[in-house]
Amino acid sequence: MYHKPVLLQESIEGLAIKPDGIYVDGTYGGGGHSEEILVRIPNGRLIAFDQDEDALVNKTEDERLILINHNFRYLKNFLKYYNLVPVDGILVDLGVSSHQFDSNTRGFSMRHDADLDMRMNRKQTKTAKMILNESPENELKNIFWLYGELDEAPAIVSAIIRKRSAQAISTFQHLEQTIGHLAPRGQENKFFARVLQALRIEINQEIEALKDFLLQTADVLKTGGRLVIISYHSLEDRIAKNFIRSGNFEGIVEKDFFGNEKRIFKAVNKKPIVPSSREVEENSRSRSAKLRIAEKI
């Protein structure tokens, strides 16, 4: 399976789908969420995005579906191009697909000793390997500190700088040999998962893309339309939570001249929905998922 959709029923129910509505799947992947939406919109339309060309092979042949091979940060442009503004609901699953993790050539997983590529869009030139071997020391520290939330960031970067001066760091095995001694005992997998997460976020500009995307949702959703976000780490979830709360990424609610709060969305679920123990047992990659649902006011 290309990708088993996470929190499928919960996210689809969160969209409050209308049979003739217009919906967006911002991360098509294996098409699991999109297929479930299509079942529920006999007279509607669905526009989906995925920057990974591998996802195109999963396209469902359906005249109601438009699949765009671009990052969801171009949401507004393509919706306007296809004359599909405003929309009734938007869903985005921010996780890396099972296909990307399982591929032995993409470099997303510590299970494969492939080149550290990690590009979701393979048309771009910069890879994770290039970041490791070419980025300035301070830039690398920021990557591991901000995107990996690693207290060991300075030590990690010092080890990388020493290693790459003698030999390029090309694969996960090279990286493991370089910084493995810094992993807390008993937490090696968590440590390396955060290291790879930091590199992946940087190479794919994931935080910038998410912020661009969220700002556009306010412009393209109908009043009463739903925004459904599945995130997998605290950086993404914090951004989603703050945006739903305040319409910005600081979480500060602005007020008008009369002191009335200016809000764009209201949270449908005050606390994030997480997978059931059964889903985690069946799909271990769902264990860190958090689902937030908002409605445009």
**222: three-class secondary structure by DSSP:** strand
pLDDT tens-place string over residues 237-251: 999 999 999 999 999
Annotated domain spans of the chain: 8-98+206-296, 122-203
If pLDDT is split at 50, 70 and 90, which confidence band does 125 have? confident
* Greatest CA separation for the chain: 63
> What residues have CB less than 8 Å from 34, skipping those under 6 apart?
25, 28, 46, 48, 60, 65
pLDDT given at position 161:
98
Distance (Å, rounded) from C-alpha 83 to C-alpha 89?
Answer: 15
pLDDT given at position 96:
77
Q: What percent of the chain has pLDDT over 90?
A: 83
For the ranges 119-128, 135-144, 211-220, 266-275, the lowest mean pLDDT is seen at 119-128
86: preceding bond cis by omega (within 30 degrees) = yes
**Fold topology of 122-203:** DNA polymerase; domain 1 (1.10.150)
Task: Determine contact, residues 15/226, Cβ cutoff 8 Å.
Answer: yes
Dihedral angle over CA of 11, 280, 49, 271, nearest 10: 40
Task: Determine contact, residues 98/2, Cβ cutoff 8 Å.
Answer: yes
Does 103 have pLDDT greater than 80?
no
CATH topology identical between 8-98+206-296 and 122-203: no
Does 181 have pLDDT greater than 60?
yes
pLDDT tens-place string over residues 258-275: 999 999 999 999 899 999
Question: How far lies 262's CA from each of 134, 265, 277, in Å?
Answer: 44, 10, 38
CATH number of 8-98+206-296: 3.40.50.150
pLDDT given at position 2:
54
For the ranges 52-56, 191-195, 256-260, the lowest mean pLDDT is seen at 52-56
Does 162 have pLDDT greater than 60?
yes
Does 104 have pLDDT greater than 90?
no
